[in-house]
């Protein structure tokens, strides 16, 4: 497979993104993005089954709206890595700042280290696997998909959760409103095992806890002025 180098010391982010957007949607080549130096919006809007390696630390909104591509960031990332991703795989070989994987519709985001606050906010069907800890208000208003946390979860986990499921191996410092811990069942162990295998993390699925919605916030009741299931 041909390997093509793209260098941010000599090309702009806009030029590199436009190069990717001009690719055929069936293109399967491999690309290296060199010298990211914390730049924002790298590899945004990709729509081809290509492989992309970003060789260094990157800034905000990396690999947003990804579709089909397999993208690896060999470093840390800023806000909103993989936001609104549709499919494909994004892997961060370091740590991620706030709102990692926000509004993801599909695909898989893997963060080897810790993720900051609001990881998985408003997920809509994607899967996120975090090798370390997550910050406060992670999976806030998560509508569908899976957030698997191999470390600890800070306060407000799953606040206003809908149909997304959270699995936590470590300590939960505080659940958000309407989130509750539930009994792990065989399908849960199978799903955790599947996600761990895809992320290449070697943990025992039986070490994980399940967090889901208590489903008392689904509808607004104007008479009682509180949320209730109608």
Share of the chain above pLDDT 90, in %: 90
pLDDT reading at 2 higher than 70: no
| Pairwise CA distance, residues 155 & 152, whole Å | 10
* Best CATH choice for the domain 3-228 from the list 1.10.10.10, 3.40.1260.10, 3.55.40.20, 2.160.20.60: 2.160.20.60
| Whole-number pLDDT of residue 230 | 36
Sort strands 51-55 and 70-73 into parallel, antiparallel or unpaired: parallel
| Pairwise CA distance, residues 217 & 205, whole Å | 29
Which residue ranges make up each domain of the chain?
Answer: 3-228
Question: Stretch 152-164: mean pLDDT, rounded?
Answer: 97
What sign does the dihedral 206-212-112-32 (CA atoms) show? Answer: positive
Q: Name the DSSP class of 126.
A: E
| Whole-number pLDDT of residue 39 | 98
pLDDT (tens digit per residue) in 164-223: 999 999 999 999 999 999 999 999 999 999 999 999 999 999 999 999 999 987 765 555
| Pairwise CA distance, residues 201 & 218, whole Å | 35
pLDDT (tens digit per residue) in 119-133: 999 999 999 999 999
| Pairwise CA distance, residues 11 & 147, whole Å | 36
| Pairwise CA distance, residues 73 & 175, whole Å | 31
| Whole-number pLDDT of residue 229 | 39
Sheet with 70-73, strands from edge to edge, namely: 3-7, 30-34, 51-55, 70-73, 89-92, 108-111, 124-130, 144-149, 165-168, 209-213, 179-182
């Amino acid at each position: 497979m041909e390997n093509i180098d793209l260098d941010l010391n000599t090309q702009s982010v806009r030029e590199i993104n436009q190069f990717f957007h001009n690719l055929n949607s069936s293109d399967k080549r491999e690309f290296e993005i060199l010298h990211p130096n914390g730049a924002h919006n790298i590899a945004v809007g990709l729509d081809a089954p290509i492989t992309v390696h970003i060789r260094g630390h990157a800034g905000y909104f990396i690999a947003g709206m990804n579709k089909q591509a397999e993208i690896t960031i060999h470093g840390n990332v800023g806000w909103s890595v993989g936001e609104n991703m549709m499919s494909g795989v994004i892997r961060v070989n370091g740590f991620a700042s706030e709102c990692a994987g926000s509004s993801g519709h599909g695909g898989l985001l893997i963060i080897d280290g810790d993720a900051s606050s609001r990881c998985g906010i408003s997920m809509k069907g994607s899967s996120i696997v975090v090798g370390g800890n997550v910050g406060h208000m992670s999976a806030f208003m998560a509508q569908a998909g899976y957030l698997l946390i191999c470390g600890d979860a800070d306060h407000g986990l799953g606040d206003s959760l809908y149909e997304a499921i959270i699995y936590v191996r470590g300590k939960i410092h505080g659940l958000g409103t309407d989130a509750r811990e539930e009994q792990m069942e065989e399908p849960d162990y199978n799903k955790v095992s599947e996600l761990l295998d895809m992320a290449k993390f070697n943990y025992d699925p039986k070490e994980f806890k399940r967090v889901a919605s208590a489903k008392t916030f689904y509808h607004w009741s104007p008479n009682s002025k509180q949320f209730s299931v109608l």
